[in-house]
């Protein structure tokens, strides 16, 4: 390069920064006091804060260790903090600011001759929000050479009555900041828009518009840079239309919107369903978070499983009804979301029915509609419904809500048909003056609902059904349970549930919650699926569902009780079966399961404990133990009563990558237990302690993945 060219290039490089004079730091709040600034009031505390103060959400986005945080002693404290006088010597004053949005009460002000010439406030004016400080700046070129002071004012009380400020500088280069209402448009030609997600990044409000009309808003931890994972936004319903993603605010240099990638596949999902912590025969959504099963119903030859889904986050949020279908409850296909959050609120839990007699009038071409019930969890929180004529497309009822708010947080409608009174019954959770209750409403047509009765003592997610005792159709009982699965058995006259038992324990394990049974099950079984709280850190999805459980009432010496057993459809997963010869197994004997290595496994055993104190299964390091002395069953030390039945114990164990579901006493004892199992250990053991047990039958089935056997 010759000298002249080189000089020109150098000059160009300098002029692009305009020979910027160095930045002047007016305050970085890194010392233990505010000196030489002056303080009035209490809100500022004795000196700069070091992040969040007691009772405050996590504060981030500040520079160094200290910042101004007027949450000292909470939102209700007030005060001011004023700088010494300084001369305006640069084009911009840049600063970081966060906290409450309140132009009058919460401000960073620039004063010249005692008059406020610039002012900035925080950005939160409703519950929730974020304590992240944002970069902002003022152009002060018109004030060059003037003497000025900065004043931070907190004159606000109550929610978001505080401000955070840091790193105030004079600079000739406009600091890069946060811009609002950033958009990017696409023509919908692919199935998905892949959205980049960074777990823990600030939540951005992302709005999807189709041809300019708002479809849905979600709170998303958008990745400004490299993504942890990609969340597919299914846009297949809008082929050929103009899609716009609008983000409430983004750093100027954020790559998030530019990175959104249209495609027919989920980005970075080559190992979809084969991820190390993907339950191989437990339903989980392709991406994002799930909690409760919803709208479980058999309709048009398919099982429908809807679920509480955050399609765009690893943690709970953006409650959307995800949707999956199956012919056998074992092999599931995930479909596009069925219900998106709307102006009435996020879509909370509820049930579904087939309206065989078309009482609602939603049926079409002589075919009964599927009707789903959900809670719109806005303010007010109300019960709503939607219907479908094809099991794929869902229309929210124009007359929603069907039940107005009774008290804040009322939720989780479950609907059943009551044949003797020929009416629909809706049970949902209502908290009344601190008491947890279930309310019963009835309706002839699913549209108009009348209060019928209430019962105390049940919390969230009711399940309510009638079942025969010991399969005897002349001895039917009603069962009511809440989200924990504890239940009472009784009678029901179409309006009032009259319990005949106290509260009885349902499942005996951990992290099994909000279970629901399929409505309209063709063979009359009551098949339950629970939310199985399998935490899968590091995966682009989180949580799952339990295996389907056949729920029955059996007569015991104490009265009728529920039993849980794995549905027979799960036999379709058996890839290789080992039947081990009946034997008397004494302590020190060779491990009868020594030859088997299996990752996914079903174990079934029938034995008489005989002299044994304990019969111990070790399934890939999970200890499943029958304590014959105490007649207790346990998984990794988590114990529950498990009586012998006719002197025998029958045990079933299902083991997936994310844990174990173990059953004893023909299903009277069910212990679900999420545990992330180590991939490499495939060994199984069976041994006895204290004496010999008579093993009457022992089967081990190596299972295949449900995701691959479609």
Closer residue to ligand FRU (CB): 349 or 542: 349
Q: What is the DSSP letter of 34?
A: -
User: Looking only at residues 413 through 452 of this chain, which bind ligand FRU when binding is defined by CB under 6 A?
Assistant: none
Closer residue to ligand FRU (CB): 345 or 548: 345
Minimum distance of ligand FRU from residue 223's CB (angstroms): 25
When asked if residue 460 is in the footprint of ligand FRU (CB under 6 A), the reply is: yes
What whole-number distance in Å separates Cα of residue 589 and Cα of residue 694? 13
When asked if residue 349 is in the footprint of ligand FRU (CB under 6 A), the reply is: yes
Please name the residues in contact with 319: beta carbons below 8 A apart, sequence gap of 6 or more: 308, 309, 310, 341, 346, 347, 348, 377
Minimum distance of ligand FRU from residue 290's CB (angstroms): 10
Size of the site for ligand FRU (CB under 6 A): 14
Closer residue to ligand FRU (CB): 110 or 430: 430
When asked if residue 461 is in the footprint of ligand FRU (CB under 6 A), the reply is: yes
User: Looking only at residues 474 through 503 of this chain, which bind ligand FRU when binding is defined by CB under 6 A?
Assistant: 483
Using an 8 Å Cβ cutoff, are 443 and 450 in contact? yes
Closer residue to ligand FRU (CB): 95 or 429: 429
What whole-number distance in Å separates Cα of residue 412 and Cα of residue 373? 8
What whole-number distance in Å separates Cα of residue 339 and Cα of residue 344? 12
Minimum distance of ligand FRU from residue 460's CB (angstroms): 4
Minimum distance of ligand FRU from residue 514's CB (angstroms): 4
| 185 three-state secondary structure | strand
How many CB atoms are closer than 10 A to CB 244?
Answer: 17
List the one residue from 278, 304, 396, 411 that touches ligand FRU (CB under 6 A). 411
Which residue of the set 154, 224, 292, 520 is catalytic?
A: 292
Task: Identify any residues that bridge with 47 across adjacent strands, giving them in sequence order.
Answer: none
Long-range contacts of 624-630 (CB under 8 A, 24+ apart): 624/651, 624/653, 624/660, 624/662, 626/651, 626/664, 628/690, 628/693
List the one residue from 75, 132, 221, 412 that touches ligand FRU (CB under 6 A). 412
Q: What is the DSSP letter of 322?
A: E
Cα dihedral across residues 130, 134, 140, 146: positive or negative: positive
End-to-end CA distance of the chain: 65
How many CB atoms are closer than 10 A to CB 341?
Answer: 22
What whole-number distance in Å separates Cα of residue 595 and Cα of residue 604? 17
Minimum distance of ligand FRU from residue 412's CB (angstroms): 5
What whole-number distance in Å separates Cα of residue 147 and Cα of residue 266? 57
What whole-number distance in Å separates Cα of residue 81 and Cα of residue 46? 11
What whole-number distance in Å separates Cα of residue 262 and Cα of residue 55? 42
User: Looking only at residues 102 through 161 of this chain, which bind ligand FRU when binding is defined by CB under 6 A?
Assistant: none
Using an 8 Å Cβ cutoff, are 415 and 375 in contact? no
Q: What is the DSSP letter of 145?
A: T
Helix H or strand E segment including 577: strand 574-580
Nearest to 528 by CA among 542, 536, 516: 516
Closer residue to ligand FRU (CB): 98 or 293: 293
| 141 three-state secondary structure | helix
Closer residue to ligand FRU (CB): 396 or 620: 396
Minimum distance of ligand FRU from residue 435's CB (angstroms): 16
Nearest to 513 by CA among 265, 292, 188: 292
Minimum distance of ligand FRU from residue 411's CB (angstroms): 5
Closer residue to ligand FRU (CB): 80 or 383: 383
Using an 8 Å Cβ cutoff, are 464 and 425 in contact? yes
Closer residue to ligand FRU (CB): 100 or 322: 322
Minimum distance of ligand FRU from residue 85's CB (angstroms): 54
Minimum distance of ligand FRU from residue 623's CB (angstroms): 29
Minimum distance of ligand FRU from residue 366's CB (angstroms): 34
What whole-number distance in Å separates Cα of residue 150 and Cα of residue 159? 25
Minimum distance of ligand FRU from residue 539's CB (angstroms): 20
Closer residue to ligand FRU (CB): 312 or 607: 312
Task: Identify any residues that bridge with 476 across adjacent strands, giving them in sequence order.
Answer: 468
Closer residue to ligand FRU (CB): 83 or 375: 375
Alpha-carbon torsion, ordered 326, 332, 335, 339, to 10 deg? 80
What whole-number distance in Å separates Cα of residue 495 and Cα of residue 477? 15
Site string for ligand FRU, 193-212 (x = CB under 6 A): --------------------
Minimum distance of ligand FRU from residue 348's CB (angstroms): 3
Using an 8 Å Cβ cutoff, are 660 and 582 in contact? no
Closer residue to ligand FRU (CB): 529 or 686: 529
DSSP string, 343-359: TTB-EE---EEE-TT-T
User: Looking only at residues 264 through 323 of this chain, which bind ligand FRU when binding is defined by CB under 6 A?
Assistant: 291-292, 308, 319
Exposed, middle or buried by CB within 10 Å (0-12, 13-18, 19+), for 637? exposed
Closer residue to ligand FRU (CB): 293 or 368: 293
Site string for ligand FRU, 502-531 (x = CB under 6 A): -----------xx-----------------
Closer residue to ligand FRU (CB): 351 or 391: 351
| 567 three-state secondary structure | coil
Q: Which two tokens stand for residue 489?
A: 């058995």
What whole-number distance in Å separates Cα of residue 221 and Cα of residue 232? 14
Exposed, middle or buried by CB within 10 Å (0-12, 13-18, 19+), for 607? buried
- Tokens 């996020």 map to which residue? 346
Q: Is 292 a catalytic residue?
A: yes
Exposed, middle or buried by CB within 10 Å (0-12, 13-18, 19+), for 700? buried
Catalytic residues: 292
Q: Which residues bind ligand FRU (CB under 6 A)?
A: 291-292, 308, 319, 348-349, 375, 411-412, 460-461, 483, 513-514
């Amino acid at each position: 390069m010759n000298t002249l060219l080189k000089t020109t290039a150098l000059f160009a490089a300098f002029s692009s920064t305009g020979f910027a004079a160095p930045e002047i730091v007016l305050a970085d709040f890194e010392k233990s006091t505010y000196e030489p600034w002056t303080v009035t009031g209490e809100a500022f505390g004795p000196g700069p804060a070091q992040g969040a103060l007691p009772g405050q959400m996590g504060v981030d986005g500040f520079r160094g260790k200290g910042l101004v945080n007027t949450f000292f002693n909470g939102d209700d404290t007030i005060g001011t903090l004023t700088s010494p006088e300084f001369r305006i010597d640069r084009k911009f004053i840049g600063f970081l600011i966060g906290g409450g949005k309140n132009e009058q009460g919460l401000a960073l002000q620039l004063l010249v001759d005692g008059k406020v010439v610039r002012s900035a406030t925080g950005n939160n004016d409703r519950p929730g929000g974020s304590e992240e400080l944002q970069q902002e700046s003022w152009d002060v070129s018109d004030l060059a050479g003037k003497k000025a002071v900065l004043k931070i004012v907190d004159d606000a009380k109550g929610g978001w009555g505080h401000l955070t400020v840091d790193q105030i500088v004079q600079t000739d280069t406009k600091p890069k900041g946060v811009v609002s209402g950033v958009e990017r448009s696409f023509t919908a030609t692919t199935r998905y828009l892949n959205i980049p997600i960074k777990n823990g990044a600030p939540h951005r409000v992302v709005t999807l518009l189709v041809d300019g009309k708002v479809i849905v808003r979600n709170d998303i931890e958008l990745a400004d840079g490299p993504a942890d994972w990609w969340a597919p936004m299914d846009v297949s319903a809008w082929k050929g239309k103009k899609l716009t993603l609008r983000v409430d605010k983004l750093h100027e240099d954020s790559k998030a919107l530019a990175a959104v990638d249209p495609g027919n596949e989920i980005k970075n999902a080559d190992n979809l369903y084969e991820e190390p912590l993907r339950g191989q025969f437990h339903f989980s959504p392709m991406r994002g978070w799930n909690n409760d099963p919803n709208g479980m119903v058999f309709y048009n030859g398919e099982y429908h499983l809807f679920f509480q889904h955050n399609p765009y986050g690893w943690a709970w949020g953006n409650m959307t009804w995800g949707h999956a279908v199956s012919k056998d409850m074992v092999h599931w296909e995930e479909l596009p979301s069925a219900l998106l959050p709307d102006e009435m609120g996020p879509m909370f839990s509820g049930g579904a029915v087939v309206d065989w007699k078309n009482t609602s009038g939603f049926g079409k071409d002589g075919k009964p509609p599927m009707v789903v019930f959900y809670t719109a969890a806005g303010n007010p929180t109300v019960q709503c419904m939607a219907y479908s004529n094809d099991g794929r497309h869902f229309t929210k009822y124009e007359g929603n809500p069907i039940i107005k708010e009774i008290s804040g947080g009322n939720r989780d409608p479950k609907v059943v048909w009551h044949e003797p009174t020929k009416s629909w019954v809706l049970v949902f959770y209502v908290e009344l003056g601190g008491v947890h209750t279930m309310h019963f409403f009835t309706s002839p047509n699913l549209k108009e609902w009348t209060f019928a009765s209430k019962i105390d003592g049940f919390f969230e997610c009711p399940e309510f059904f009638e079942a025969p005792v010991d399969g005897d159709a002349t001895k039917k009982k009603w069962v009511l349970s809440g989200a924990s699965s504890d239940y009472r058995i009784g009678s029901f006259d179409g309006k009032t549930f009259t319990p005949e038992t106290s509260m009885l324990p349902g499942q005996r394990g951990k992290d099994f919650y909000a279970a629901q049974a399929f409505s309209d099950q063709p063979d009359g079984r009551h098949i339950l699926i629970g939310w199985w709280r399998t935490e899968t850190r590091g995966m682009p999805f989180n949580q799952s569902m339990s295996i389907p459980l056949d729920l029955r009432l059996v007569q015991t010496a104490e009265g009728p009780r529920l039993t849980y057993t794995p549905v027979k459809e799960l036999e379709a997963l058996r890839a290789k079966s080992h039947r081990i010869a009946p034997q008397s197994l004494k302590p020190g004997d060779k491990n009868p399961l020594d030859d088997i290595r299996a990752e996914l496994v079903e174990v079934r055993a029938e034995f008489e404990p005989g002299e044994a104190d304990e019969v111990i299964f070790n399934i890939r390091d999970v200890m499943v133990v029958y304590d014959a002395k105490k007649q207790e069953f346990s998984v990794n030390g988590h114990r529950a009563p498990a009586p012998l039945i006719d002197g025998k114990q029958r045990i079933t164990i299902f083991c997936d990558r994310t844990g174990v579901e173990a059953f004893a006493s023909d299903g009277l004892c069910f212990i679900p237990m999420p545990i992330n199992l180590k991939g490499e250990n495939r060994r199984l053991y069976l041994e006895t302690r204290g004496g010999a047990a008579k093993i009457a039958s022992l089967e081990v089935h190596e299972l295949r993945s449900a995701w691959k056997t479609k």
